[in-house]
């Protein structure tokens, strides 16, 4: 873990729970794509930088989930590097209580205010194309989170952030976190058609051909939507839908899984309602969902 891997030319990644991209800009300067999940991750990145005699100039965050921005504060304090994050993600990076608050739908209790959902705040600036190094392209990858992006380097290496999960992760956890299901599927279709020398997803193995994994993720979304539609054969409230999904997929509920899977299921319900697959009914002062 935290081993530096060269992908092609000046494009590297650091093996970690959420892969950290590293791009050499010249003989001495480098930038990072994300920073890991906490201060310890930042410290290990710093050791790699020092070992190679590299100076960190900037961190480009793909999105604001805690496991991608957790090393920002430490590395920024140690190196003076700039931190950039796209769109709404910049606000979440500067005010990290927004992530657990968004997931929970209110002020998050102490069980949700921990480093896995709430990173240390960092002084992030808006990520715009003009702050990128020469030869690096930003790619919009919305769906998993609000304004997530990926990057293509001049070596034709594409860093895909969290726009898809590995087969192993999907087979184990079944319901991956999604904010906007429609945008997520659109991103997967776009990624499926992409070509590059190498793709580096944050939570799957690097590959030259991303299309099969993208399709596997698309198929999993369709499977979950069909299962939700089946559960809604008769009017049912959200908690009952969530309980059924946890039981059907053999998942174990705790506070973290409740908000992560629960938020995702709400996103499915919104997407399916807008598509006319289910309808919302208000009965006895309760919101119930029913197949259309």
- pLDDT mean over 236-252: 98
DSSP code of residue 54: -
Q: For 53-81, how does the pLDDT look when each residue is reduced to its tens digit (9 = 90+)?
A: 999 999 999 999 999 999 999 999 999 99
Can you tell me the distance from the alpha carbon of 38 to that of 156, in angstroms, rounded to the nearest whole number?
29
Percent of the chain clearing pLDDT 90 (strictly above): 100
Tell me what pLDDT residue 182 has: 98
DSSP code of residue 1: -
Tell me what pLDDT residue 20 has: 98
Q: For 104-127, how does the pLDDT look when each residue is reduced to its tens digit (9 = 90+)?
A: 999 999 999 999 999 999 999 999
Q: For 145-183, how does the pLDDT look when each residue is reduced to its tens digit (9 = 90+)?
A: 999 999 999 999 999 999 999 999 999 999 999 999 999
Q: For 174-203, how does the pLDDT look when each residue is reduced to its tens digit (9 = 90+)?
A: 999 999 999 999 999 999 999 999 999 999
Angle at CA of residue 245, ends 241 and 248, nearest 5°: 135
Tell me what pLDDT residue 33 has: 99
Domains of the chain from N-terminus onward: 4-133 (3.60.15.10), 231-291 (1.10.10)
Tell me what pLDDT residue 270 has: 98
Tell me what pLDDT residue 72 has: 98
Tell me what pLDDT residue 198 has: 98
């Amino acid at each position: 873990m935290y081993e530096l891997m060269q992908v092609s030319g000046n494009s590297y990644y650091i093996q970690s729970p959420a892969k950290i991209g590293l791009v050499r800009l010249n003989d001495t300067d480098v930038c990072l794509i994300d920073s890991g999940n906490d201060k310890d991750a930042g410290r290990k990145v710093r050791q790699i930088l020092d070992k190679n005699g590299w100076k960190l100039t900037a961190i480009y965050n793909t999105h604001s989930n805690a496991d991608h921005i957790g090393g920002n504060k430490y590395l920024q304090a140690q190196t003076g590097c700039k931190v950039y994050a796209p769109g709404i993600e910049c606000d979440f990076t500067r005010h990290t209580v927004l992530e657990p608050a968004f997931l929970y739908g209110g002020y998050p209790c102490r069980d949700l205010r921990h480093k896995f959902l709430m990173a240390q705040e960092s002084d992030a600036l808006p990520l715009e194309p003009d702050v990128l190094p020469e030869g690096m392209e930003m790619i919009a990858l919305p769906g998993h989170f609000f304004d997530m992006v990926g990057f293509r380097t001049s070596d034709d290496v594409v860093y895909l952030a969290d726009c898809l999960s590995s087969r192993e992760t999907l087979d184990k956890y079944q319901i991956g976190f999604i904010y906007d299901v429609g945008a997520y599927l659109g991103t997967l279709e776009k990624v499926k058609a992409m070509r590059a020398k190498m793709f580096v997803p944050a939570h799957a193995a690097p590959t030259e051909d991303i299309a099969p994994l993208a399709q596997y993720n698309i198929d999993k979304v369709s499977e979950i939507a069909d299962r939700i539609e089946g559960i809604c054969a008769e009017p049912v409230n959200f908690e009952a839908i969530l309980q059924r999904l946890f039981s059907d997929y053999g998942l174990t509920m705790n506070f973290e899984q409740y908000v992560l899977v629960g938020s995702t299921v709400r996103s499915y319900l919104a997407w399916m309602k807008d598509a006319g697959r289910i309808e919302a009914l208000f009965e006895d002062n309760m919101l119930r969902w029913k197949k259309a």
